[in-house]
Amino acid sequence: MRVGLFVPCYVDAFHPDVGIATLELLERFGIEVEYPFNQTCCGQPMTNSGCHAESAATEALFVQNFERFDYIVGPSGSCVHHVRSNFDSIEQTDIVRKVRANTYELVEFLHDVLKVEAFPWAEFPHRVAYHNNCNALRGIGHASMSELRVEPFSKPLDLLRKVRGIEVVQLARPDECCGFGGTFSVFAEGISSKMGHDKVRDEMQSGAEYVVSADSSCMMHQQGCAERAGLPMKYIHIAQVLNGASS
Amino acid sequence: MNGIEKDTQPPLEAERTILHPELAAPPDESPVKNGRRLQHAEGASHPIHPPPEREPQPRGARIRGNHRVDQTEAAERFIASPAHEKMHDERLWDLRGKRDRQMHSIPEWEELRTLASAIKEHTLTHLDQYLEQFEQNARANGVHVHWAKDGEEHNRIVHGVLRDHGAKTLIKSKSMLTEECGFRPYMAAAGIEVIETDLGERIQQLDNEDPSHVVVPAVHKLRGDVAQVFAAHLGTDPMDDDVHHLAEAQRQATRPLILNAQAGMTGCNFAIAETGGITVCTNEGNADLSANVPNLHIASIGIEKVIPRLEHLAVFVRLLSRSALGSPITQYTSHIRGPRAGGEMHMVLVDNGRSARLEQDKFWTSLKCIRCGACMNTCPVYRRSGGLSYGATYSGPIGLIIDPSFNRHKYSALPFSSSLNGSCSNVCPVKINIHEQIAAWRQVMAENHELTLIKKAAMKAAGVLLAHPVLYRAAITSADSALNNLPRFAIYIRLNAWGRHREVPHAPRESFHSWYKRNRSVP
């Protein structure tokens, strides 16, 4: 199995530790992982703003970088959702369709493809709240959604429960968007940060020491809000927890 | 005497602390003479305690002709009014919670949604046929049926009917369609007095504001705001914000108007093709008053309201109020088939852009909407913005996808007032893919040059940067420059939109890219 490591642009630039943890975690399962050097982004910032024409070249570059892999795995529900559901600014050739279908977010790759039973190296003796990124939740189906009458399930929590010592607490509004929303975070800055500050307050009231998520983008936004408000909430990516980060 | 006076003294500080804080009397700051609070006239010349500071009600979007409405500007003013924003967010989130509890009480909930969606899609794809059937049956019931291609024609028809009857006063129940048509201003100009009978809608009418929500039109107002409106228009005490007093005051003021009105008007929630009857759902029974008290009843009906059969009504009635308010059913579900004995009934079937929307591949399913408002209640942006920030007839998620079809330029910024979180689509009882249509509208705006220049320039720059690995890599060779270069769209628009209410991310020592280069073999 050849896996192409997809490291979204903001992870590359702001959260390299998340990329490193993803790589190391996949390698622990004996997978041959390669990081294509010419990758940049999935095209979501442009498409998200309606600018499909401006997104086309970036999408074509993504396909060029990843077409040779059996699976493409990245630590971001949001970016993977874009590739899988909205990656339509370029012609949908067989290769494009194959790349889209083989692109997985890390949690679902571990849960659905590798079907990981245990993370013997992982211990995280902390109280955590899990933040579902909206695209991971409603776009690629990480977990059951509170709006629907379906059997409850959660792939990220299934994985986190295999980590020694972890305690998961519930938020008052578990599915509520934190307001990041990609370009929304700057084009509707006032609403976006109000949502972020409300989310951080909910997290503080839950009694959690850490917020864990499969998306660094939401956490970057929330951490920015927490720091501005002087609140001591800590944020960590699920890849880091599963890879055995101690704190 | 002394003993009685002693009893009426306020409790000492020490005694006060044992009371539940909400029950404690406010501190008495009236003047003290000889160690005693002054009584009667001496003390009454001073206020016993000053009135609490009242947060003024934030107003909606600034409308300037055909100029692009800036929802975010109005939303920021709403957020800057914390008492209003907090009440609004919590009140609507509470409705969402009640809706969830209703959903969990119905095992077949998801099947109902699927069925409701299928009935609507079937009807919309056979709309001509069902409308003709409806018209035929309504006429057979003794109803006068009119067709209006737009709001203007609707208003003209209604005015004509009123003129024929010499009617100068009209009571009406809530109708989003008449809001679309600009009905009240038209009638005011024609010298007809229109009285809204829905409590929330009446508040909005008196305050000269549009409804901010399709179901709870005054939900953005605190009761203190309502007290101000009623004081100005109904002569009540501006300091009395007791909800029972306020409701009673409006009841007393409006009842005589209802009893003496010369014509009545209702909207329509469902028009049933096989019977020619309509169903109107209210919680105040005011549609029954509007339909039945005067001899003349006019119903305004959007053409998308038709459903084929009476049995289909059961599907929608089960979903409507559960989705809207989290109650099993509206207090009143009124079925009206024809004029009452000695009366006259008219129905105006209104298109107003609906047939045009039906032709739009990506947007026609927005016509399935049954106006429950569930998407507004769940929307985290709407809850923090207030409905008037959208500056359009429809607000919230459904507004983002309907308003631009009335005026693409004026409402071109609305589809960007969404984080695209998708909760709206999940609560929609007729399964409209609302968030996907919001994204599709963004594309329409971009393709039709409706983006702001700055947004377009930012996206163009990002598109070039992200398509060229060398340029991109140069932009983030060091973390410092990453902050300055990567989110160009973040830095482009204001000095730093990110940093107004948030800290910027910490710069790491190196990018993942350079770590990988150092730690893994270069291919």
- pLDDT value at B105 more than 60: yes
Tokens of B297: 């009843």
User: What whole-number distance in Å separates Cα of residue B174 and Cα of residue B194?
Assistant: 12
Q: pLDDT at position B500, please?
A: 87
Q: List pLDDT tens digits, range B248-276.
A: 999 999 999 999 999 999 999 999 999 99
Question: Do B32 and B67 have their domain in common?
Answer: no
User: What whole-number distance in Å separates Cα of residue B99 and Cα of residue A148?
Assistant: 11
A180: amino acid identity, one letter: F
Q: How many CB pairs under 8 A join A and B?
A: 234
Q: pLDDT at position B5, please?
A: 41
Q: Do B420 and A221 touch (CB under 8 A)?
A: no
Q: How confident is the model at residue B200 (pLDDT cuts 50, 70, 90)?
A: very high
Nearest residue of chain B to residue A139 (CA atoms): B422
Q: Do A51 and B456 touch (CB under 8 A)?
A: yes
Q: pLDDT at position B7, please?
A: 43
Contact at 8 Å (CB) between A105 and A99?
no
Angle B49-B54-B56 (CA atoms, 0-180°, nearest 5)?
Answer: 160
CA distance A178 to chain B (A): 9
Q: Indicate whether B311 belongs to any domain.
A: no
Q: Do B489 and A40 touch (CB under 8 A)?
A: no
Tell me the CATH number for domain A127-242.
3.40.50
Q: pLDDT at position B346, please?
A: 98
Q: Do A221 and B502 touch (CB under 8 A)?
A: yes
Number of continuous H segments (helices) and E segments (strands) in chain A: 13, 8
CA distance B66 to chain A (A): 22
Measured in whole angstroms, the distance separating CA B185 from the mean position of its chain's CA atoms is 20
Residues of B in contact with A64 (CB under 8 A): none
The residues of chain A scoring below 50 in pLDDT are none
Question: Do B37 and B99 have their domain in common?
Answer: no
Q: pLDDT at position A214, please?
A: 97
Contact at 8 Å (CB) between B281 and B268?
no
Burial class (CB in 10 A: 0-12, 13-18, 19+), B68: middle
Q: pLDDT at position B24, please?
A: 47
Q: Indicate whether B291 belongs to any domain.
A: no
Q: List pLDDT tens digits, range B506-521.
A: 888 889 999 999 998 6
- Residue pointed to by tokens 């910024």: B413
Q: DSSP assignment, residue B215?
A: S
Q: What three-state secondary structure class fits B516? A: helix
Q: How confident is the model at residue B147 (pLDDT cuts 50, 70, 90)?
A: very high
Boundaries of domain holding B496: 453-519
Q: Indicate whether B436 belongs to any domain.
A: yes
Question: Do B424 and B461 have their domain in common?
Answer: no
CA atoms within 13 A on the CB side of B56: 4
Q: Indicate whether B38 belongs to any domain.
A: yes
Residues, chain B: 523
Q: Is the dihedral of CA A197, A202, A205, A211 positive or negative?
A: negative
**pLDDT above 70: percentage of residues in chain B:** 86
Q: pLDDT at position B518, please?
A: 92
Question: Do B40 and B65 have their domain in common?
Answer: no
B76: amino acid identity, one letter: E
Q: Indicate whether B415 belongs to any domain.
A: yes
Q: How confident is the model at residue B43 (pLDDT cuts 50, 70, 90)?
A: very low
> Number of structural domains, chain B?
3
Residues of A in contact with B466 (CB under 8 A): 9, 40-41, 43, 45-46, 58, 61
Q: Do B384 and A194 touch (CB under 8 A)?
A: yes
Q: Indicate whether B313 belongs to any domain.
A: no
Mean pLDDT of B92-109: 98
Residues of B in contact with A86 (CB under 8 A): 439
Mean pLDDT of B74-79: 98
Q: List pLDDT tens digits, range A83-117.
A: 999 999 999 999 999 999 999 999 999 999 999 99
Q: Which runs of consecutive H residues, i.e. helices, occur in chain A?
A: 9-14, 16-28, 44-48, 52-66, 77-81, 94-101, 106-108, 134, 155-160, 184-187, 189-205, 216-229, 238-242
Q: pLDDT at position B74, please?
A: 98
In order of A8, A85, A139, A145, the CA distances from A80 in angstroms are 9, 8, 9, 19
- Residue pointed to by tokens 């901010």: B212
Q: How confident is the model at residue B33 (pLDDT cuts 50, 70, 90)?
A: low
Nearest residue of chain B to residue A33 (CA atoms): B520
Q: Indicate whether B149 belongs to any domain.
A: no
**Closest to B79 (Cβ–Cβ): which among A38, A145, A190?**
A190
Q: Do A55 and B463 touch (CB under 8 A)?
A: yes
Mean pLDDT of B23-32: 54
pTM: 0.91
What's chain B's average pLDDT? 89
Residue spans per domain, chain A: 2-113, 127-242
Q: Do B516 and A23 touch (CB under 8 A)?
A: yes
B223: amino acid identity, one letter: R
User: What whole-number distance in Å separates Cα of residue B164 and Cα of residue B448?
Assistant: 46
Q: How confident is the model at residue B336 (pLDDT cuts 50, 70, 90)?
A: very high
Prediction ipTM score = 0.97
Q: Do A181 and B110 touch (CB under 8 A)?
A: no
Q: List pLDDT tens digits, range A16-46.
A: 999 999 999 999 999 999 999 999 999 999 9
Q: List pLDDT tens digits, range B421-464.
A: 999 999 999 999 999 999 999 999 999 999 888 788 888 888 88
Question: Do B437 and B385 have their domain in common?
Answer: yes
User: What whole-number distance in Å separates Cα of residue B275 and Cα of residue B257?
Assistant: 32
User: What whole-number distance in Å separates Cα of residue A82 and Cα of residue A85?
Assistant: 5
User: What whole-number distance in Å separates Cα of residue A160 and Cα of residue A94?
Assistant: 36
Residues of B in contact with A35 (CB under 8 A): 516, 520
Q: Do A188 and B416 touch (CB under 8 A)?
A: yes
Q: Do A49 and B381 touch (CB under 8 A)?
A: no
